[in-house]
Structure formats: structure tokens, C-alpha cells
Chain A
Amino acid sequence: MKADHPQAVNEAPIDFSAATMTEMKRVIGLFPEGKQKSAILSVLHLVQDELGWVSVGAMNRVAQILDIEPIEVYEVATFYTMFHLDPVGKNVLEVCRTGPCQLVGSDDLITYIEQKLDIKVGETTKDGMFTLKTVECLGACGYGPMLMCKYHFYERLTKEKVNEMLDAMREASKS
């Protein structure tokens, strides 16, 4: 179910781990009494860190935690592009496609990763290991072409570096 579904508010809220809840309390506590909604982006990042994406059930739980209406969470989660509103692979490769990276070869990089993983932008590999996305400028323009995965920046990418990176990610995600 998506956040724009009429029955979204009825989706059962899901619970987060104790560690995530502790961290959520900390980030909410950074703001003054009554301004807990200001922590919503931090909280949604924590949700995504735990689940890999932000489901409607998770948003409904966030609404309870922040003591706001579910719609207030939906409208935020759907506005900010970092939040994945559908399930994704274990490693989401977000390749910068904007001008400065394009000047130094991001088009070729995207094509190379598509061929290498046998998926198109927006798709996930069959084994659920990788999702490939393109994103707008990540503020690493002097070090392009580049991509982000799990908040880590992989910069000045070449085919060789991509190969090594993918191997290392496969290894790290085996479990």
C-alpha cells in the first residue's frame, strides 16, 4: 500500500528495534518541548537505516512516535527524495547524473553499471543485492563521476573501481 492510498492510515503500525527507538528519542530530544516534529527527517532516516525503505506501516508508527497525524508524515516522506517508498535491494547505488558529473563521464558510468548488473535504472537485481538509481547533484562535483551507497561517497569512479566496489558490497552483504 502506498501513502496516497485512501486506506493508508489503517495500515498497522510496525515496531522498530530497541536501538532505533533509543536513537529516535535522542534526536527528538534535540528540539525544544513541543517541537518534536522538527526531528521527522532524522527519524525517517533511522527508519530507512533499519528497514532499508520507508513503508506506510513505518510512517504510521512515526506519526505515533512524533504525536502528529499520519498525513504529516506521508507528505514529508513523499517530498524528500532520499526516502525509498518501495522495497529496495541491500545496496542502493545512487549515481549522480547532474551536469558537473556528466562532464566527466557519469552517462558512461550509469550505462556500465546497468550492463554489469543487467538491470536498468530504477530496477533491483534478481538476487536483491543491488538497486540502481540516479540522483541529482550530491555535492561532490570535483570528484566525479561518483555514486552514494549507505551514506558513503564513492568518487572518481572508473570501471575497475566499480568492479571492486561491487565485489566488496556483495561480500559485505552476504548473510
Chain B
Amino acid sequence: MARKLLIEHADVQGIASYDVYRKHGGYASVEKALKTMSPDEVVEEVKKSGLRGRGGAGFPTGMKWSFLAKPEGVERHLVCNADESEPGTFKDRYLMEKLPHLLIEGMITSSYALGARRSYIYIRGEFMYVLRILEKAIAEAYANGMLGKNILGSGYDLDLVVTPGGGAYICGEETALLESLEGKRGNPRMKPPFPAVKGLWGNPTVVNNVESIAAVVPIVNEGGEAYAKIGIERSTGTKLISASGNLVRPGVYEIELGLSVEEFIYGDDYCRGVANGKKLKACIPGGSSVPILPHYLVTKTAAGTDRLMTYESLADGGFASGSMLGSGGFIVFDEDQCIVRNTWNFARFYAHESCGQCSPCREGTGWMEKVLYRLEHGHGTLEDISLLEEINKKIEGNTICPLGDAAAWPVAAAIRHFRDEFEWHVKSPQEAQSRNYGLIQAPLEA
């Protein structure tokens, strides 16, 4: 059985309370860091661990930390991105709901490493009940001397606040999140300056995903090198995967990076296969923003090797035949699902969530949604398919934040792999209304 570094105790009775969490080894990383390590030593362990941002971008966390500007007399902040909104992703909610103290512990240890004395958890507004769980846990941490003045007699002070969003996917983008945290609309900022130089209220700020911050706990407890031994190559440690769609057992799983996709979908310890005895049609392995893979590229790469749950293996083949690990939002489609309908659905999502700041994204996402609506509802033409590809190129790379790319990639990938199904919707609109296309064939020569 794979090692669990984050959610091993998730089902322990009462683990959301301080006392039970502490009995199971909780807050050891705070004691170790504050009593025996300098802040820079903590940063060093995180660098050694090879931990990569668990929110989706996969940027090395230790490196991100080392970019934090430290001018004299200027306050610094750590902000936790708990605005989990990427369709297919629900791991952070699970972690915060079950193990609120794990996130708080990670926030304290990480804030210490960064020299932040006022840190924030920005949680999506729809998770209000999780916010209440965190508030209670924060109050317990204060009452037990883990937050506030002079934590554990170390001389280190930290205040931690949890605050809600208001329903906006874009606030998961770190600069939009900071705008929102300042009480404004979530319009992403131009970079540079990066948050590490000018972030919250103009102060140097690190923004990290919930799972990344939680991972700092085992990294400090066991050492960065021990953490880096788990996994393969540059995909170190464990990862929470949110499995959804047509699976026998959807849910949140902690895996060791390097597990095979085959094992994850079909293994008894994981999703136990496609629901209702149906065949696998496609899979989006890293949240709705990453390219969809047709069934013949899910468990094997185009080169014929086993596809693994790692940043590298899921991206093997580039966008031609690969995808991305992203946020770990693993969405599985059975043989009866309609790719055109699903692509339209996601296009509608991005059109709805575009903040409206950059015209290629504001206009382009809405345009793609309309074209895909036509195709799905039997009014499309073959030109519409090439039009989508054209719009895609106009959006990609031409916006302030990655939402534009996130909207463009899934459409491009769906057309790349499922062109036959799109064309069938145009050529047989009546039939496409009454039945689904079914499985597509793998090209004979890859």
C-alpha cells in the first residue's frame, strides 16, 4: 500500500479537533522548525524536497519561496489559495474539511520560513461550511499557543485569518486572488511585478495552494531528501488526486507520484474501473483546463510506454498526444459520453468565468461557446470546426492571465483527438441528437 503523507489520519474520529490532531503527531513540524531550525533552513528543506505547486502550474515551491523579496521594515505575507474552483478538483476541500489543523500547521511552519507575521487563507465562498471548520481550528490553535504572540517561546509571532471569496473561478489565479483579498473585483494583475515583490497591499507575498502548504509539514518532519525519495524524477512526493466522472469509486486519493494510470483507474485501492461495466472513452487527467486524452492515450503514451501519474509522463508527447497533471482533477468519460457536448459545457464555463479584462478572452470565450452550442445542437457547419481552431490561436498567449489558455486548450485538444465526432455532429445532426457517437478509433499509425 502506498504511503500517505497528508491524509493518513483523515478518518480518525475527532481529528478536526486540536487535541486529537496533536495526539496523532500534529504540530511536530512547528516545534521542529521554530525550536531547531532557522527560516532559511526550512526553505532549504522545501527546495530539497522537489515539491512542486499542487494548484496546477507545478512550479517548484522552494524556488517560489526563494524569490520572496525581503526589504527591511516591509511586512511580508503568506496567502493560502483555497479558492479551489478548477472543474474536476475537490481535494483541497477534502483536506480542509477533514484535517483543518494540517493546513494551519503548514501555514505556521511556512509563514515562519518566509518571515510572514500576518497570513491569510482565502477560501472560495461556496465552502462557507469549511471556513467555519477552519475558524474553529484557528481559534483552537490560538488557545494552545500555536498562533499569536511568541509561539512556543520562540519569539515568533503570527496571526492567521481565513476569509471567503464570492464565487469567481478567476480568483484562483494568484494576482486576481490578491485583488479580491484587497476587496476588489478579481481582475488579474500585469506581471511583473510578481507577488513575491509586490503582492498583498503592495507587500512581498507568497501565494501557495492548500495541498502545497500541507505538504510542507511532512517535508519538515522527515526532511526534504526523504520526501524527494518518493516519486519519480522531478515528480516527488505524494499528490492528492480528485477522481470524478464515470468511475466505480470516485473520490479523493493520495497517491505516490509514479503510480500507473492503469492502476489508478482500475486498481482495487483506487477507482476500481469505469462505472456500470462500460468502456473508457476519454480522460481529462488534470482539471478541465488540460487537454483531454482519448482512451488509447490514457494508460499508454503514443510511444507505447505505460502512462504514469507524474508531471512528465502525463505530458509525454506534448499537446499532440499528451496532457498535464495540472491540479490532479482526474475526470473520466465512459463510452456513452458526448465529447462535443462536454467541450461546449467547458467552453460555457470559461465564457462565464472570464473576468472580462482582456478582449481576446472576453470575446473569444463567448464566441467559442456560441459556435460549440451550434455544433452540439445540430446547427453547425464544417467551417465552424476550423473557426474554433482560429479563435483558439487568437486567444492563446494573448491574455494577462492563463484563463485564456485554459479556455483554448481543451477545445483544441477535443478537436485534435475527436474530429470525427465533431464532423459527425455536422453531417448527421438528427442522429447526433438521438444517440452518442461512441468510441473513436485509434489512428492506425501514430
Q: Which of the residues B182, B331, B353, B355 comes within 8 Å of A99, measured between beta carbons? A: B331
In the complex the two chains form, is A142's CB within 8 Å of B163's CB?
no
Given contacts A38-B183, A102-B345, A141-B244, contact A45 B87 (CB under 8 A): no
In the complex the two chains form, is A104's CB within 8 Å of B349's CB?
no
Binary interface encoding of chain A residues 36-49 relative to chain B, with 1 for a CB under 8 A from any of its CBs, else 0: 01111110110000
A121 within 8 A of B: no
In the complex the two chains form, is B333's CB within 8 Å of A141's CB?
no
A69 within 8 A of B: no
Q: In whole Å, how far is A109's beta carbon from the nearest beta carbon of chain B? A: 14
A157 within 8 A of B: no
Task: Give the distance in Å from the alpha carbon of A80 to the alpha carbon of B187 in the complex.
Answer: 11
Q: Kindly name the residue among B90, B288, B341 whose own CB sees the greatest number of chain A CB atoms within 10 A.
A: B90
Q: Which of the residues B124, B161, B164, B331 comes within 8 Å of A139, measured between beta carbons? A: B124
A174 within 8 A of B: no
Binary interface encoding of chain A residues 134-175 relative to chain B, with 1 for a CB under 8 A from any of its CBs, else 0: 011111111110001001110000000000000000000000
Query: Which positions 58-99 of chain A face chain B at CB distance < 8 Å?
Result: 66, 68, 72, 75-76, 79-83, 97-99
Q: In whole Å, how far is B430's beta carbon from the nearest beta carbon of chain A? A: 20
Which of B66-74, B245-253, B381-389, B395-403 sits within the interface?
B245-253
In the complex the two chains form, is B163's CB within 8 Å of A30's CB?
yes
Binary interface encoding of chain B residues 325-360 relative to chain A, with 1 for a CB under 8 A from any of its CBs, else 0: 000010111100100011001100100110100000
Given contacts A104-B246, A139-B90, contact A151 B129 (CB under 8 A): yes
Chain A residue with minimal CB distance to B185? Answer: A79
Q: In whole Å, how far is B344's beta carbon from the nearest beta carbon of chain A? A: 10
B442 within 8 A of A: no
Task: Give the distance in Å from the alpha carbon of A83 to the alpha carbon of B329 in the complex.
Answer: 27
In the complex the two chains form, is B244's CB within 8 Å of A151's CB?
no
Residues in chain B near residue A66, CB distance under 8 A: 183
B116 within 8 A of A: no
In the complex the two chains form, is B126's CB within 8 Å of A139's CB?
yes
Q: In whole Å, how far is B92's beta carbon from the nearest beta carbon of chain A? A: 8
Residues in chain A near residue B167, CB distance under 8 A: 80-83, 135
Q: Which of the residues B85, B126, B164, B349 comes within 8 Å of A41, measured between beta carbons? A: B164
In the complex the two chains form, is A141's CB within 8 Å of B186's CB?
no
Tally B residues with Cβ within 8 Å of A.
Answer: 55
Task: Give the distance in Å from the alpha carbon of A98 to the alpha carbon of B90 in the complex.
Answer: 13
Chain A residue with minimal CB distance to B167? Answer: A82
* Number of A-B residue pairs at CB separation under 8 A: 148
Residues in chain A near residue B211, CB distance under 8 A: none
Q: Which of the residues A75, A137, A144 comes within 8 Å of B349, measured between beta carbons? A: A137
In the complex the two chains form, is A103's CB within 8 Å of B331's CB?
yes
Query: Which positions 162-185 of chain B face chain A at CB distance < 8 Å?
Result: 163-169, 180-185
Residues in chain B near residue A137, CB distance under 8 A: 85-88, 169, 288, 349
Task: Give the distance in Å from the alpha carbon of A97 to the alpha carbon of B352 in the complex.
Answer: 12
In the complex the two chains form, is A142's CB within 8 Å of B251's CB?
yes
Query: Which positions 190-246 of chain B face chain A at CB distance < 8 Å?
Result: 201, 242-246
B128 within 8 A of A: yes
Chain A residue with minimal CB distance to B331? Answer: A100
Task: Give the distance in Å from the alpha carbon of A81 to the alpha carbon of B180 in the complex.
Answer: 13
B377 within 8 A of A: no
Q: In whole Å, how far is A55's beta carbon from the nearest beta carbon of chain B? A: 16
Q: Which of the residues A82, A97, A103, A142 comes within 8 Å of B242, measured between beta carbons? A: A142
Q: Kindly name the residue among A32, A103, A138 whose own CB sees the greatest number of chain B CB atoms within 10 A.
A: A103
Residues in chain A near residue B85, CB distance under 8 A: 136-137, 139
Given contacts A79-B168, A80-B165, A100-B87, contact A141 B331 (CB under 8 A): yes
B307 within 8 A of A: no
Q: In whole Å, how far is B191's beta carbon from the nearest beta carbon of chain A? A: 21
B321 within 8 A of A: no
Task: Give the distance in Å from the alpha carbon of A136 to the alpha carbon of B346 in the complex.
Answer: 10
A31 within 8 A of B: yes
In the complex the two chains form, is B166's CB within 8 Å of A99's CB?
no
Residues in chain A near residue B161, CB distance under 8 A: 30-31
B54 within 8 A of A: no
B313 within 8 A of A: no
Binary interface encoding of chain A residues 111-142 relative to chain B, with 1 for a CB under 8 A from any of its CBs, else 0: 00000000000000000000000011111111
Chain B residue with minimal CB distance to A35? Answer: B201
Q: A102-B342, A137-B349 are in contact. List 6 more A-B contacts (CB 8 A).
A: A41-B183, A42-B163, A103-B244, A135-B167, A139-B124, A153-B129
Of the A-B pairs whose beta carbons lie under 8 Å apart in the complex, a sample of 18, sorted by A's number, is: A30-B161, A31-B161, A37-B183, A42-B164, A45-B166, A66-B183, A80-B186, A99-B345, A100-B87, A103-B246, A103-B342, A136-B353, A137-B86, A137-B349, A138-B126, A139-B92, A139-B124, A141-B89
The 4 A-B residue pairs with the shortest CB-CB distance in the complex, in nearest-first order: A80-B166, A82-B167, A37-B183, A141-B244
